[in-house]
Structure 1
């Protein structure tokens, strides 16, 4: 007996109902929106236009936004899988024949869904590997991640526009009709009564899966959940001086810094300090987190000289724009820039000490930048020069 390919009508489970797809799609849409907006904030911190003003306060804003960025991306994985499962019977829907405007609309709709699902799956995949700092591909991660985000948003808007009448019709819960008897001759995936899982049961399962993977990852930025953060590549409290490290001195090509190290400020007046002379300047303390783009963060106690005090000593206004230069010879972040609002903030330090001791070499000995509301990649380590830009 020759089996026929199933039709869309053969999948009679109520779990494939448009109401189910609408609810899960709503959750997925929220996760994607949060991920997109927080990702934009991170991108503009690192590559924003010169005219874009990013405040230095709240001091822990980037810690919250980047934690939400990675968390929403991880939670989106089970939501995407659940969404695909609820709608996959649509793959068996026949195109209208003969060709017509309706057929063309259907084809365009399916192409937009293909773009959306492919881009979103790739985005989540490379984003997760980025949290592991593993890049088994030839293309630049950050630029590709950013471009995919806009592709996803565009495809999502097209999908919502096409499906808006269906979404509106099923946005609110409606009484479920009595299931119709199933034809004996049809190939049926599962009946409405025999599926073993109600719609509410599916919603609870999907929500539980999202919560589970979220809890297993959020501990990297919420220390109280650190012991259960099995999906987090960085654990709070693990690392030199009780603080994780992404890029070690060995990775950066920085060797042991000797007594000949000098710190230079190039401003209206050029100043040169030894480490002991920096330690003799008035010291300040800042309790600030390191918040990395990979999503992990941890608070720490920093001591050092305020950047605005160093600028004043060199004759530059405290609200100057400053280039920070590292001993690191290569790498995308061997230099960074402090916008005026960050340079003038009293919490921004040329840090010499961490958690009560001199900086470990992997944390940037002999000096590093620590500033509020900044990505960890811009908290330049192994600093040996500041250049006043204006």
Structure 2
């Protein structure tokens, strides 16, 4: 054959993939999406509460409420539980809509391009937020940035993206919200049955994830706590520990000559025996951590407000607390007047009637009502009246 007459191979035409599944539709996406929206709303509101309790602006620090004592335990437990449920719902939502990624042509107009860009931002930030949150509750940080400020900032992007998505899709959402789609006949019976089966399956998955993790904060379900990284009854003295004395660099040598320094108009220093000789108080309070676990315990020690008063502090004074730990973002902690004056806020020396173990902050730690666990400072060595 003459090489000049050889025909070039004909390449097949590029066609977008086709999807025959009946449930990749707006009706299914709307049904899953409204449940996902509720989960996102709970996460956003409780996340704001957690963030501002941990990092209050100056104008808010003295007005943060110390009651109810179980407040942070409830809100952070809801935050983590809703976040885990949202992972299941997000996967279901993406399954329902992913064929739209392959629409052809990919961009039909400037408006369509902006709409697709907004969806891309929503999906990317939602996936980032949920899966970094999941890694946070197991305390694994395979990234170079600080989790807390990035998680807080991206939460606002997710919230804005969700609101924008709802605004853009409002007519479609409204059309598919109820049992009948606006302007169309009732969908085939087999589609309705399949959709109910799908939604029941997604609901069962959400229920299974919730039941096997929520026991880390809701102790009546502690026996079902199979998948959560913490169990409320496991740990030294029957309480979990996130940061051990060894991890914080608190050694036996550092504790051997421990003293409590209280700074104020009338500063003083106390040994552990002198601290134990002061009037003691007890309080049954939960300790609740940002990772979602919480547990209630009986604490004993000296009221912080009594130490502030002895140091010459005036009513309304706050307190700066310094730990023996050699490093850490929460080595120095400040509490506003609501916490400092609350009679349940203790410089605790005992836990459930026993002397604190080193991992629980021996010889003294802060325990206060409605307070994140990272601010219940362990290995306290200094109190400063503000």
User: Is the pair's TM-score, using the shorter chain for normalization, greater than 0.5?
Assistant: yes
Give the RMSD, CA atoms, in angstroms.
2.1
Q: Which runs of 5+ in 1 are unaligned?
A: 181-191
| Aligned position for 1:121 | 127
- Secondary structure of the residue aligned to 1:351 is strand
Per-residue Cα deviation, 1:62-117 (whole angstroms, up to 9, x for no partner): 001001111111000110011111112222323488x6xxx111111111111111
Per-residue Cα deviation, 1:350-385 (whole angstroms, up to 9, x for no partner): 000001100001000000000001100000000011
- Secondary structure of the residue aligned to 2:314 is coil
Q: Indicate whether 1:85 and 2:95 are aligned.
A: yes
| Aligned position for 1:17 | 25
| Aligned position for 2:344 | 347
Deviation at 1:254, TM superposition (A): 0.3
- Secondary structure of the residue aligned to 1:305 is strand
Per-residue Cα deviation, 1:163-221 (whole angstroms, up to 9, x for no partner): 011111122221784679xxxxxxxxxxx85x896111111111111111111111111
Q: Distance in 1 between matches of 2:243 and 2:186?
A: 60
Q: Indicate whether 1:279 and 2:270 are aligned.
A: no
Q: Distance in 1 between matches of 2:344 and 2:374?
A: 18
- Secondary structure of the residue aligned to 1:109 is helix
- Secondary structure of the residue aligned to 2:283 is strand
The count of aligned residue pairs is 371
Q: Distance in 2 between matches of 1:261 and 1:21?
A: 61
Q: Distance in 1 between matches of 2:220 and 2:264?
A: 44
Cα separation, partners in 2 of 1:280 and 1:77, compared to 1, 3 Å: same
Q: Distance in 2 between matches of 1:374 and 1:66?
A: 11
| Aligned position for 1:314 | 311
Runs (4+) off by over 3 Å: 1-8, 175-180
Per-residue Cα deviation, 1:293-319 (whole angstroms, up to 9, x for no partner): 111100110000001111111121243
State whether residues 19 and 173 of structure 1, in contact with CA within 8 Å, keep that contact through their aligned partners in structure 2.
no
| Aligned position for 1:189 | none
Alignment partner of 1:134 out of 136, 140, 156: 140
State whether residues 16 and 103 of structure 2, in contact with CA within 8 Å, keep that contact through their aligned partners in structure 1.
no
- Secondary structure of the residue aligned to 1:227 is helix
Q: Distance in 2 between matches of 1:237 and 1:21?
A: 40
- Secondary structure of the residue aligned to 1:289 is strand
Cα separation, partners in 2 of 1:196 and 1:17, compared to 1, 3 Å: closer
| Aligned position for 1:148 | 154
Q: Distance in 1 between matches of 2:89 and 2:288?
A: 26
Deviation at 1:12, TM superposition (A): 5.4
- Secondary structure of the residue aligned to 1:198 is helix
